[in-house]
Amino acid sequence: MASKKDLKKDIDLIMSLALSDCFYVLEYNTKVDEKAVYEIAGEIVQKHRELRLRAIHPDGKDNPKLVKTYYKTLIQDMLAAADSALEKLSAEVKKVAN
């Protein structure tokens, strides 16, 4: 397993890329609903905090199999959260693209 430090950096990178996409949409698409995009950005920030806390405090520290499963689930949750946020952002952009 990679280190916690690398995992936290990965969380920071993935979530910051999703967040930067929100601000990119706000900057370059004036027709988009700003409130909805800010809500998506808020969800990203909240999920980022949750994922960082989960990375620091794993369950089952005594059992390596549980720890490995815990971190696999954490990575899957991170990717799912970023994907979900980007899909919501894409839907907002599509609303005004027509």
The confidence score (pLDDT) of residue 2 equals: 66
Q: What confidence tens digit (pLDDT) does each residue in 23-69 have?
A: 999 999 999 999 999 999 999 999 999 999 999 988 778 888 999 99
- Comparing CA positions, the residue from 94, 93, 98 lying closest to residue 28 is 93
Burial pattern 15-53, b for ≥16 Cβ within 10 A else e, equals beebbebbeebeeeeeebeeeebeebbebbeebbeebee
The string of pLDDT tens digits covering residues 74-95 is 999 999 999 999 999 999 999 9
